[in-house]
Amino acid sequence: MKKVLIIGGGSGIGLEIAKTLDSNNCDVTCVGRKDRNNFDYNYVKCDVSKSEEVIKLFSDNVYDVLVYCAGIISSEEESHNYSEDEVNSIIDINLKGCIRCNQLFIDKCLENSISGKIINISSISNRGSKYFPIYASSKAGILTYTKSIASRYENIKANVISPGVIKTDMSYHETPNFDDYIPSIIENTPAKRLGNTTDIANMVEYLLSDKADFITGQEFVIDGGYTLPKE
Ligand SMILES: NC(=O)c1ccc[n+]([C@@H]2O[C@H](COP(=O)([O-])OP(=O)(O)OC[C@H]3O[C@@H](n4cnc5c(N)ncnc54)[C@H](OP(=O)(O)O)[C@@H]3O)[C@@H](O)[C@H]2O)c1
């Protein structure tokens, strides 16, 4: 039974990944900042922006798979008004949190001779984003970091999934005026719909299967074709 750690598994895309992997006979542990009582899977409260909490998270357990899905976007639309604290927290959670968890996961894999798999969740905004430049930069960092470790560690397979717009709390509640953007997003998506959390979880399921054993250092864009050329 594969032991899977899902950072950001308490809600949205991460929770869907937990459901899918649990039904695939994995031993799933989810991680988040909030208290979650009566949660369906093993749950550990940990703030990935605090390195001492992340060190504790990895100290007692060895996992076969790491899924890094934690992320925040931002509360304001105009990035030149972001405070330094806001910039720091976006980078700290989205990028540095990912690096912290990946480093400790790899260290444990090497120590225990485990051929580990990593899936880091980026975003189609890693190509640049008009409204969310700091978020986009953090997601670009995840892509570059993942390709780099995939090339360095032969016993680790590390890949990135870059979702398009997926219906979750983040898209609806944390993105300012999200409802206003939906019609034009759908219009510009060849698949003519927003993404579902299952679209991402299905890709994770595939990447963790033996069928994906020759795949490492790649980015999988799951966006219904939204980023394809328009002309
Ligand atoms: N939804 C989209 O359209 C979309 C598109 C592209 C990429 N993504 C990416 O997909 C991932 C999941 O997002 P989502 O849409 O599923 O939103 P979500 O439901 O808000 O999930 C984000 C998760 O990150 C966790 N998290 C945030 N800060 C954390 C911290 N400091 N320590 C530990 N956990 C922390 C949250 O846990 P708590 O609730 O416990 O704080 C939450 O479970 C994110 O990385 C996001 O950037 C989403």
Per-residue model confidence as pLDDT tens digits over 24-74: 999 999 999 999 999 999 999 999 999 999 999 999 899 999 999 999 997
The residue contributing the CA closest to ligand 1 atom 19 is 12
Residue 122 domain flag: yes
Residue 227 domain flag: no
Residue 229 domain flag: no
pLDDT band at 85 (very low <50, low <70, confident <90, very high): very high
**What pLDDT is stored for residue 77 in this prediction?**
64
In angstroms, what is the span from residue 117 Cα to ligand 1's centroid?
Answer: 20
In angstroms, what is the span from residue 139 Cα to ligand 1's centroid?
Answer: 12
Residue 230 domain flag: no
Kindly tell me the sign of the dihedral angle through the C-alpha atoms of 215, 219, 222, 226.
negative
pLDDT band at 124 (very low <50, low <70, confident <90, very high): very high
In angstroms, what is the span from residue 168 Cα to ligand 1's centroid?
Answer: 9
Residue 184 domain flag: yes
Give the CATH number for residue 123. 3.40.50.720
Residue 195 domain flag: yes
Q: Which of 7, 13, 17, 197 is the best mutation target for the ligand 1 pocket, counting ligand atoms within 8 Å of the beta carbon and taking the most? A: 13
Task: Judge whether 118 and 149 are in contact, CB under 8 Å.
Answer: yes
**What pLDDT is stored for residue 76 in this prediction?**
63
* 190-77-45-8 Cα dihedral, nearest 10 degrees: 10
Spatial separation of the C-alpha atoms in residues 228 and 231, rounded to whole Å: 9
**Mean of pLDDT values over 2-14:** 98
* Ligand 1 pocket list (CB less than 6 A): 8, 10-14, 31-34, 47-49, 69-72, 93, 121, 123, 163, 165-166, 168-171
In angstroms, what is the span from residue 70 Cα to ligand 1's centroid?
Answer: 4
**What pLDDT is stored for residue 178 in this prediction?**
79
CA distances from 161 to 69, 114, 193, 210 (A): 10, 22, 19, 18
Residue 23 domain flag: yes
Residue 82 domain flag: yes
Residue 167 has pLDDT above 80, yes or no: yes
Q: Look over the chain and give the mean of its residue pLDDT values, rounded to a whole number.
A: 95
Which structural domain range is residue 36 located in?
A: 3-222
Residue 199 has pLDDT above 80, yes or no: yes
**What pLDDT is stored for residue 131 in this prediction?**
86
* Range in 136-140, 143-147, 158-162, 173-177 the model is least confident about: 173-177
Residue 168 makes CB contacts below 8 A (sequence gap 6+) with 11, 12, 13, 197
Number of structural domains in the chain = 1
In angstroms, what is the span from residue 92 Cα to ligand 1's centroid?
Answer: 13
Ligand 1 atom with the smallest distance to the CA of 94 is 45
**What pLDDT is stored for residue 75 in this prediction?**
66
The residue contributing the CA closest to ligand 1 atom 36 is 8
**Torsions phi, psi of 4, nearest 5?**
-120, 130
